[in-house]
Amino acid sequence: MSTQTVIGEGHVERPPPLVRWYAEHRRAVFGTLVAILFLLFWEGLSRGWWADALRPLIGHAADPLLVPPIFISSPSRIAAEAWRMFVVTREIWSDLRFSAMEYALGLGAAIAVGMPLGLASGWYRRLSYAVGPFLAGFNATPQVALLPLIIIWVGFGLAAKILIIFALAVLPIAISAQSAVRTTDARLLKVAHSFGAGEWHLFRTIILPSAVPFLLAGLRLAVGRAMIGIVVGEIFGSAVGVGAMINRSGSRFETDKVFVGVLVIAAAGMLLAELVHQIERRVEAWRPSV
């Protein structure tokens, strides 16, 4: 906005197209530039570009600028490793399949339990009193601490992973569903009541439609939290899965592989969040915008 004043010396009406394009996309241009510089800096650190360049000037003081790739890897090494794992040996696909399965089952269970529970405790005041202490306590607990208990209960297998993902994802869903019902427009409810609408009718035509944005917002939170479960759940006694791959590679100092795994999980998380976002837009299209 303020660029208008900077570039507008003399002719405010029509800045050249290139300048205009820059002004419109400044954020993106700047961001890309910074990202590229950062990647170059990183690559240079592990290849010793900066150490070599500065050594004539400051001698051995430049040595810390050469960081062995075992510590930081490098963008090119990570890209090469990703190519190898995805295309050449295709070793990552079985990990991906396993993690995706536990993720889908865990998140699915969290939705199946969290949404009805949240909706019900938003609707029935006494139920919310009854489950309140449990929700608050569970919310204050780092749910990951339950992992040793879960392992005692169900062992190291798939069930343990599903349960930990469930434990991480269920609360955001339940809590947002609860507040969704609570914040329903009271006037709408009154009107419906006075026209003698039944509970089920109220629920279906007023509560549920107005709850959808909250439910989806909770889902978006849960999608991210559940990603943690993949890594944490596979810390112990897991042979397959992206999290297990990350942990294994970390203990073997295969930093490149760790970064590939981290990026895969980050990408999956962003993709899912974007998916929920698209659903939100789709679902909200009918609502008159304020």
Partner 1 sequence: MATAEIELDAGASAHPSTLARFYREHERSIIGGGTLLAVLLIWEGVARSGLVDPLFLSSPIQIVKAGIDLFEGGEIWTHIQVSGSEFLLGYALSVAIGIPLGLATGWYRRLSYLLGPFIDALNAVPRLTLMPIIVIWFGIGIWSKAVVAFLGAVLPILIATNSGVRTSEARYLQVARSFSASELKIFTSIILPGTVPFIFTGLKYGIGRALLGVVVGELYAATAGLGYMIGEAGDTFQTSVVFFGVLIFTATGLVSVGVLDALERRFETWRPKAGAAS
146-155 core/surface letters (b: 16 or more CB in 10 A; e: else): bbeebbeeee
In the complex with partner 1, which residue's Cβ is closer, 126 or 282? Answer: 126
Alpha carbon distance 223, 165 (integer Å):
10
Pick from 24, 63, 199, 284: which binds partner 1 (CB under 8 A)? 199
In the complex with partner 1, which residue's Cβ is closer, 93 or 124? Answer: 124
Structure-token pair, residue 269: 């998380």
Contact (Cβ atoms closer than 8 angstroms) between residue 147 and residue 87: no
Neighbour count for residue 37 (Cβ, 10 Å) = 10
Amino acid making up residue 227: M
Task: Tell me the number of residues near partner 1 by CB under 8 A.
Answer: 67
Per-residue contact flags (x/-) with partner 1 for residues 28 to 67, judged by CB under 8 A: --xxx-xx--x-----------------------------
Min. distance of Cβ 243 from partner 1 in angstroms?
8
Pick from 20, 25, 97, 125: which binds partner 1 (CB under 8 A)? 125
Contact (Cβ atoms closer than 8 angstroms) between residue 281 and residue 220: no
Pick from 111, 165, 265, 276: which binds partner 1 (CB under 8 A)? 265
Contact (Cβ atoms closer than 8 angstroms) between residue 273 and residue 223: yes
Pick from 17, 56, 59, 137: which binds partner 1 (CB under 8 A)? 137
Contacts 24+ apart (CB under 8 A), 36-44: 39/75, 42/72, 42/74, 42/75, 43/74, 43/75, 43/76
Min. distance of Cβ 165 from partner 1 in angstroms?
12
The residues, ordered by sequence, that sit 6+ positions from 249 with a Cβ below 8 Å of its Cβ are: 255, 257, 258, 261
Min. distance of Cβ 265 from partner 1 in angstroms?
5
The residues, ordered by sequence, that sit 6+ positions from 72 with a Cβ below 8 Å of its Cβ are: 42, 45, 46, 255
The phi and psi torsions of 252 (rounded to 5 degrees) equal -100, 10
Alpha carbon distance 230, 243 (integer Å):
6
Site membership for partner 1, residue 201 (CB under 8 A): no
Q: Give residues 138-177 in contact with partner 1 (rule: CB under 8 A).
A: 138-149, 151-153
In the complex with partner 1, which residue's Cβ is closer, 109 or 144? Answer: 144
**Which residue is associated with the tokens 């800045």?**
15
Per-residue contact flags (x/-) with partner 1 for residues 209 to 238, judged by CB under 8 A: ---------------x--xx--xx--xx--
Site membership for partner 1, residue 126 (CB under 8 A): yes
The phi and psi torsions of 10 (rounded to 5 degrees) equal 95, -70
Site membership for partner 1, residue 247 (CB under 8 A): yes
Applying CB under 8 A, the residues found at the interface with partner 1 are 26-27, 30-32, 34-35, 38, 70-71, 123-126, 129-134, 136-149, 151-153, 182, 186, 189-190, 193, 199, 224, 227-228, 231-232, 235-236, 243, 246-247, 249-251, 253, 255, 258-259, 261-263, 265-266, 269-270
